[in-house]
Each structure stands twice: as structure tokens, then as C-alpha cells.
Structure 1
Amino acid sequence: MKDTQNERTRTRLKANEFAVLDAKGLYCPEPVMLLHNKVRDLPGGSLLKVLATDPSTRRDIPKFCVFLGHELIEATQDDTLYTYVIKKKPDG
């Protein structure tokens, strides 16, 4: 797997910035599959905001975080929109 300094710099986020995954309109298992891919591409400690409309994400995303060691910082629901903020576990 190629890992250059430019690739790492390109994906690095400032502490107060979020990467965003828009999974609205997708249904199980797609939101979690996309989440897995997105988290893998982020540096450790990054914040990721996930937007979803599938009610099963209320169960699946917290379990995903526990299983893989990421921190679920926030989980909110506004009508049919589910929003999650996840902090990726440190690299290494």
C-alpha cells in the first residue's frame, strides 16, 4: 500500500473540522459499509460527521464504534435525520 507524505497531508484535518459522510437515502448495510471505508481513509483522532436516514443506523453505528474502538461523541435525531459524530481511534 502506497503511503506518501502528500497523501497524509491531504487527508489531515484541523482539530475543529469534520469530515462528512452523507449516507442519506441509503439502507442497511450501505451506511456502515461506507462508514468503514471513510474511517479507514482518515488519520487517527479525526472527527467524522455521519448523516443518515436509515433508522437501523441507531443500532449499527454505535456497535461499529464499540467493535472497532472508535469514540461515538454524539448521536442525535431530528425527525428522520440521524446525525453521528465519531472520533477515529488513534493510529498505531
Structure 2
Amino acid sequence: MSESISVDVSVDARGLFCPEPVMMLHSHFRDMSGGQVLELIATDPSTTRDVPRFCQFLGHELLRQTESEGEFHYLLRKCE
């Protein structure tokens, strides 16, 4: 059974291309508190590379990464 994760901020980056989705992450994470969860929906396949690197570089936690019908869904937790 899948764990239910409460989303604090949703970001729709569908139709945007690199580097815009990651720039949106930076912008939203700046206003979030540590421990809050952000959901990102994107259509740019480069996000499958860029979002994990964003998390690794800045120390945020990538909780979930899925792809369905050309949409990429991510759940990220801001580091404390």
C-alpha cells in the first residue's frame, strides 16, 4: 500500500522546457519552509535528469518520481 504524502505546494510546469522547470523549483523552494513537500508536474523529459540533480546538489529529498502518458510527476521535500 502506497504511503499518502501531504503536498504543500503544487507547481505545473507542463509545456515548459529546460531550464524553466528547475528555475520554478528554485523560486518556490525559496518561499517554502524546511520539511514541506512540493509536487512538480512537467512534460519536458530533461526533468528526469535535472530534478534529481537539483535535489542532490541542494540536499533536498526526492520522494517520488513517476511518468505517465508523457507527464513527469515529482514529489520533493525541502531540506530543513
The TM-score normalised by the length of structure 2 is 0.91
Q: Which runs of 5+ in 1 are unaligned?
A: 1-14
Q: What is the alpha-carbon distance in structure 2 between the residues aligned to residue 40 and residue 81 of structure 1?
A: 25
Q: 2:38 matched to which residue of 1? A: 48
Q: What is the alpha-carbon distance in structure 2 between the residues aligned to residue 44 and residue 23 of structure 1?
A: 22
Aligned-pair distance for 1:79? 1.6
Amino acid at match of 2:31: D
1:79 aligns with 2:57: no
- Larger RCO: 1 or 2 (CA < 8 Å, sep 6+): 2
Aligned-pair distance for 1:51? 0.3
**CA deviation map 1:14-62 (0-9, x unaligned):** x833310110000000000011111111010000000000000000000
Percent identity (aligned): 49
How many residues align? The count is 76
Q: 1:67 matched to which residue of 2? A: 57
Q: Which runs of 5+ in 2 are unaligned?
A: none
Q: 1:20 matched to which residue of 2? A: 10
Greater Rg by CA: 1
SS in 2 for 1:55: coil
Which of structure 1's runs of 4+ aligned residues deviate more than 2 A?
15-18
The TM-score normalised by the length of structure 1 is 0.79
